[in-house]
Structures are given as structure tokens and as C-alpha cells.
A and B are shown apart, each in its own frame.
Chain A
Amino acid sequence: MSLSSALHSAVTGLTAVARQAGAVSSNVANSTNENYGRREVELAARAVGKNVGGVRVLGEVRMVDAGLLADRRAADAQLGAAAVTAQALEWIDTALGLPGEPGALASHVADLEAALTEAASRPDAQIRLDAVVRSAGDLAGGIGRVAGEVQGLRAEADRQIGLGVERLNDTLARIEQVNRAILREVTAGRQPNGLYDERQKLVDEIADLVPLRQMERPLGQIALYTDTGAILLDGTAARIGFSAFGGPIGPETTLAGGALSGLTLNGIPISTGPGGPLGGGALSAQFALRDGTLPEVQGGLDALARDLITRFETAADALPPAERPDLAIFIDGSPPVPATDAGLAQRLTLAPALLAGESWRLRDGLDAIVQGPPGDARNLALLAGALEARTAPPTGGFSGTPRDVSGLAAELQGRIGGARITAEGQLSFARGQNTALRDAQARDGVNTDDEMQKLLLIERAYAANARVIQAVDEMLRELTRI
């Protein structure tokens, strides 16, 4: 213990206080930065070495709760998946429309029933027969329109998968680069806290696509895995392969049929389902939409279209074959070869004679040669009866309870509405969880009041250390003056 060691200790004190001031200023500068880890300087007394006494800066520590971070990232992935599903189902539900609103599917069915009733009251009125043709056309068009929206959503899901995979690949490559930069800094003995912040931000950017787990590796490195154990980054970044379809998607464009692409991980094809290697986040939710949920909706619409066609084909079956008029007002506009019901919803249209304006055929039969008595309402009554007949479509996910057309449309809409409610419930739960975890994480952030208090201490400590140096300097000068 000598004057020189006192001087030395004061100098270390100044250095330590300067580092603390640096940490405080960095914290205050980043007080609104969500991706910032609050810096705290760790100090220890000098106990060994040539000059005992003084303070030693151990380093700047980033105050980040790793467990909370992992939980929040898991919640991000759930939120991403729930948001994708809920939004798509809301779109379909809106396309189907609320019963009673003009343009809703259920309203088209009711309007057709009403038009047939009014035409049966005045079968001689051309205007009423035309109204029936118009309502029937609206119904066929409405079913086709909703099916078109479904395929549009599939194309959008495909596009989003392409964008997501691109984002994933790019970000993993950048994380690999940051890892290497951190390695360089750490082996040189420095503490690259800024790089740690940047790496955390990059990982957060892809946390909604796939559920991530971050593992610590030596020398400040990290490895990234998914929940199910697929390696995304361990030393080198993995490469995820996907080719977007690039054009309008139709009901016949499927993954099973080979037209749509699946995923590859480093060149090896992997499953795209929710239990697959990249499952659980927004990416697998888009796949579930494109290959599962939306094709099911299309299937339901196709089954409804087939049911409509069949109802009117068999509308007059109660009559003996010789007297049966042709009442098949709905047809498949362009039947594909080989025959399939996939996409029937888009192909559903009216019989050509009705499209050509011969609405009197509703009254007299599509195969009538000449117009019959204008007051004959029997065929119109059969047409109305066809709509009210109770059938159960064998395909399309219907329950099997025989219903009339209005009931079948309500059942289809109810399925989608129920799925929407479930998805929205999951979304609001995921959102709540995500918010709570973000709040908990944000609590660890910068509190400017706290930093100001630290700054008061720092100011005093700096002044005190400087004063010590001044005092020692005076004492030394005393010595040499003698």
C-alpha cells in the first residue's frame, strides 16, 4: 500500500465509472428499442496481482431471461399459426355471407324458393319466369364465386409459403454470418453485445414461421432447432426448399397430384403436416390451409352442387316415365374427362335453353317442343318441391341427415362458422399468451428512472475518484518540494 497504489486504484475507479457511464448512456439511448438487452457492468475488487486494490471490470452483461425468451418465441409461433388459420376462415365465412344479407348463399336459396312460388301463382307471367331463371343463375353463380374465393386463398397460401421459406433461408444465412462475427470478437477477447442484440432480433424475425429452440454453444455461438428436433442451424445453416406454383390454382392442382410443391430440408423431402419437422408455426398452418382445410371446403361446395343437379334431375320421378318432363335446370357446364366432381362448384350453370332466354321451359319442361297452357303450374310446383326435398349428399363432409337445400347450405356454412369460432378462440388465447409473455420480457428492459439514479451515483463516484487523484497528486508534490 503506497501512494502509487492509491493512485493506481483511483485510476481503475475512473475507468470502471467511465464504463458504467457508457453502459448507462447505451441503455438510455436504447430505451425504446424492443430488441435490446439492458447492459449492466459487472465489477469485482482486485484481490490478486502485482497491484492489490482498486476495481476490476469483469464485463458488460446483457440482462436477458433466456427461459422467458424461449417461451415467448414458442408463443410467437402459435400466434403466427392461429392468425393464418383464423384469417382464412373469416374470409370464407364472409364470402358465404350472413343469411338475410343480399348476396349471401342462404339468401340466394331463399330467393329461388320465393321466385318459384310467385311464378307458380302466375305461370302466365313472363316476368316471373324470368325472375326464377335469374335467381337460379344467382345461386349457381354464388356457389361458383365462393369456390373461386377458396381457390384464391389456396393460391395466396402457396405464395405466402414461398415468401416464408425465402425469409427463413435468408435469415438463417444471416444468423450464421453473425455467429461467425461473434466468434471472431469473442476469440479476440472482446464482448460483442451489439452483435448479440442483432442476433436475437434476427431469430425473433423467424420465430412466427416455425417454433424455434435456441441452444447455447461455446464461444458465444448458438444453434437453432425446431420443436420436433430438426436442425435449422448448427454451425452451418440448413437450406429449406420449396417452389411456388406461380399461377392461378384450381381444384385439380393438389400436392398429392404432384402439381404443388412440398418442403425439402437440405434436399431431403419432409412432411408438411403439423407434426412434421417444420410444423407448429405459420408455415405449417399455410400448408394445412392449402392442402387440407380449403380443399375440404371446396369438396363441400362440390357436393352441394352435385346435390342441386341431382335434385332437379329426379324432380319429376313421381310421374310415370312417359309423362315425365325434363326439369334438370342445373347442369355441369363443362364436364371433365375423366368425370369428377372436383371443381363442380365452379362449373355449375343453368341448362342452355334457360340461358338462351326460354324461361317458359320452366313451366313446360326443358324438352317441350311447344309452349303449353300458360296457366299450368304443375311443373313449377315440382321444381319447388325439388328444392324442399330432403337429401343427404354422400360426399363433402355432410352429416348424413337428410335436409332441404336451405338446410344443406346452412349445414355447410355452420361447419365453416364453427371452425372459424374455434380458430378465433385459439387466436385470442394465443394473442393473450403472447402479450403476457411480451410484457414479462419487456419488464427486463430499460427503466430510465433507474438509469438516472445510477447516473447520480456515477457522477458522485467519478468526482470522488478524481478528488482522490487530486489529493494524491498534491501529496506527491509535497514530497518532491521538500
Chain B
Amino acid sequence: MSYLTVSDLVRTLQLRRQTGGLSAAISRHSQELTTGRTANPTQTLRGDYTPLTGIERSRTTLSAFAKTITETALHAAAQQKVLDRLLTDTAELAEKYLVINPEMPPQIIDKIAAEGGAAFRTAVAALNEQIAGRALFSGTATDRRALAPAQDILAAVLADPAVAAATTAADLDQAISDWFLDPGNGVAFLGEERGMGPFAVAPGLSVNLDVTARSAEIRAALARLAVGAAVDAGALAGDPRERALALRDNAAGLLNARTGIVALAGELGGTEARIEAARIRNEAELAAMEIARTDLIGVDPFEAGVRLEEAIGRLDTLFTLTSRLQRLNLTEYLR
């Protein structure tokens, strides 16, 4: 016999192979349908994981940046509120001081001085505030208070030889200024000079929160407020005229100090704006990363569903074919 015959085995092997292939296709498509992601990422990416690595890394680090942004923005806003309060208080106090004239009765001077003392204590308390367990104005020493308690500072100021020896309003003002502006003053200033940071808020972008209680502008403001508190606590005792003059001239000093605080608030506002811009940028980038990731390894569920239906249909046809061909042999007919 030299004509061509096709053995039984060929057909069987082919049918088995095709059944196996279709079953594998069905399980692959159903997996893609339920997970929304390709079942064989390596094939889809052609073995190049670099884009996917970049995308996943961005997603992880962007969520870390988001946390940093929330915490840093909170801290900056709290600092800004304190600076605001300082500005308001100094303005009010300056107004009160401006109505003084040295001919007023001593009791009235004393009452106004008391307000100055209260303002000083309020300012010190405000600068010692904390938020979320961190001191606002202590710099990197976030576990320590920024300033000593108001009465301790006042006691130390009055004990200072230069202050004790002052006899005129100008002398008192100068002595108190020198005391506060002394860079080595460790009695009043307990925090660190170095501000907080750097805080990474976006890829390649860091911000610092540089305002501390040791900043020159804050020291100047405290010095001015301390004059009123010192008068209230008994400096220039027995000389009502000098006391009145000290308070009245302090008004100008307070307004001067205010401009320094305004500059600090402006810088802080700039930092807050940068943080907010980073937040918006990061959110947009995160959304873009999600889309890119879907583009790379995602699978359209509708398409996966259609392919699944198709494979199921083909397997159905194959089973029908197998069973029909099964009966199509000579042995059957010779029975």
C-alpha cells in the first residue's frame, strides 16, 4: 500500500492539543476579566520592567509626599496663626500706649503697664505653643519649649545689672533690647536656632520651616513687649514720668517690630504656597500614574469578556466535533 493514510493518533493528538489550548485560553481570559490586569505581565511588557517600575515607585513615593505635605502644612498654618496673633496684639498695645502723656496720674500709668505685662505673657505663651506633639518655634528641638515661662524671663530681665541700673526710659529700652538680642541668651531661649526641615514635598522639592523663637525679628518683638512688662513689674520705680515715657516711646518700637513679624509671615506664606502647589501637582501626577499603569498592564474588561465568550464558544464547537468524529470510523459501520 503506497497511498497516503492518516493514522488515528494524529487526529487524537490534534484534538487533545486544541482542547488543552482552549482551556488555557479560557482560564487566562477569565483571570483577566476578574482582575482587570493582564494574566502574563512579562509577555505584555516584553520583559522590560523599567516603565512599570518607574510608575509603581512614583505611586509609592507620591503617597509619602502627601503625608509630608499634610503634616508640614498643618505646622506652617499653626505658626502663621501665632504670628497673626502677635501682629494683632502688638497693634492693640501700641494704640493703648500712644494715648499716654507723662502728666497722667500714676494709677492710670500702672493700669496701662499691667496690660503691657499681660500682652508679654500672652506672647510668650503663644510662642510656646505645640501642635501634634511638636513645639512650633523650637526649631529642631521639637520636644522642648521655645521660651522659658514669662515670669522667669521677666525675673531674669529685671535681675540684669544693666536693666537694674537704668534710670531713664531710653536706658531701660536699650538694656532690655541688648538682653534679648544677645545671641548667647540661654535663659529665655530654650529651643534650637536651626529651623525644621528639609521636608520633601515633591520629587526634587524640599521646604524648610525656618521661623524659630530665636529669629531676630521675634527677639526684637519680645524685647519691645518686655519693656511694658518690666514697667509693670516695677522697673524705673519711683519715677512716674520716666515710666510713662518708657511706655509711650515703646509704641513706636512695637510698630517697628511689627514690620519684622510681617516679613516673617510673608516668607512663611510663600512656603505655604509652595507646599500647596506641590500638593496639587502631586495629585495630578498620581492620577496620571494610575492611567499610565492601566495602559501598561491593564486589560479592558469588555474586551476580556468578549474574548472569554469567544473561547468558550470555540471549545463548545470542538467538543461537538470530537464527539461526531468519534463515530466516524469503519469499525462502527462494520458492527
Contact = CB atoms under 8 A, between A and B. Distances in A.
> Is the pairing of A and B real?
yes
Interface of A: 31-32, 34, 38, 40, 93, 98-100, 106-107, 109-111, 113-115, 117-118, 120-122, 124, 372-378, 381, 384, 406-407, 409-411, 413-414, 416-422, 424, 435, 438-439, 442-450, 452-454
B6 A375 contact: no
Given A106-B53, A449-B331, A114 B60 contact: yes
Given A113-B61, A117-B68, A448-B329, A377 B56 contact: no
A443 B330 CA distance: 18
Contact of A121 (B8, B56, B59, B72): B72
Contacts of A122: 71, 134
Contact of A420 (B9, B47, B196): B47
Contact of B49 (A99, A117, A454): A99
Contacts of A422: 47
Interface in B24-54: 41-43, 45-50, 52-54
Dominant SS among interface residues on chain B: helix
Given A106-B49, A110-B61, A113-B64, A373 B139 contact: yes
Contacts, number: 177
Contacts of A109: 57
A377 B201 CA distance: 13
Contacts of B334: 452
Contacts of A384: 200
Interface stretch (B98-106, B107-115, B140-148, B224-232): B140-148
A452 B42 contact: no
Contact of B53 (A372, A413, A438): A413
18 contacts: A99-B49, A99-B55, A99-B57, A100-B52, A107-B56, A109-B57, A113-B61, A117-B65, A124-B142, A374-B142, A376-B194, A378-B198, A406-B57, A421-B43, A442-B10, A443-B5, A445-B10, A446-B9
A412 to B, nearest CB: 10
Given A99-B49, A443-B7, A375 B13 contact: no
Given A107-B56, A117-B65, A420-B47, 17 more contacts: A38-B7, A98-B49, A99-B52, A100-B56, A100-B59, A110-B57, A113-B64, A117-B64, A124-B134, A373-B192, A375-B143, A414-B48, A439-B10, A443-B7, A445-B10, A449-B330, A449-B331
B320 to A, nearest CB: 21
A98 B41 contact: yes
B58 to A, nearest CB: 9
Given A376-B140, A377-B196, A448-B8, A121 B47 contact: no
B194 A110 contact: no
Interface in B114-170: 133-134, 138-143
Interface in B183-200: 192, 194, 196-200
Interface of B: 1, 4-10, 13-14, 17, 41-43, 45-50, 52-57, 59-61, 63-65, 67-68, 71-72, 133-134, 138-143, 192, 194, 196-200, 206, 293, 329-331, 334
Given A410-B54, A414-B50, A121 B199 contact: yes
B13 A442 contact: yes
B56 A110 contact: yes
B54 A406 contact: yes
Given A106-B53, A110-B56, A375 B142 contact: yes
A452 B59 CA distance: 70
A435 B17 contact: yes
Contacts of A373: 139-143, 192, 194
B8 A446 contact: yes
Nearest to A416: B47
B76 to A, nearest CB: 12
Contacts of B63: 114
Nearest to A423: B47
Contact of B14 (A121, A376, A421, A439): A439
**Lowest 9 CB-CB distances: which A-B pairs, in order?**
A445-B7, A417-B47, A375-B142, A114-B64, A100-B56, A421-B47, A373-B140, A110-B60, A410-B53
Given A106-B53, A406-B54, A417-B45, A375 B60 contact: no
Contacts of B199: 120-121, 377
Contacts of B50: 407, 410-411, 414
Nearest to B144: A373
A120 B200 contact: yes
A417 B134 contact: no
A372 B194 CA distance: 13
B48 A417 contact: yes
Nearest to B192: A373
A377 B198 contact: yes
Contact of A447 (B8, B139, B200): B8
Nearest to B65: A117
Contacts of A418: 46-48
B155 to A, nearest CB: 27
B141 A444 contact: no
A452 B330 CA distance: 7
B57 A113 contact: yes
A255 to B, nearest CB: 28
Contact of B42 (A406, A411, A420, A438): A420
Contact of B139 (A375, A411, A435, A450): A375
B145 to A, nearest CB: 13
A121 B67 contact: yes
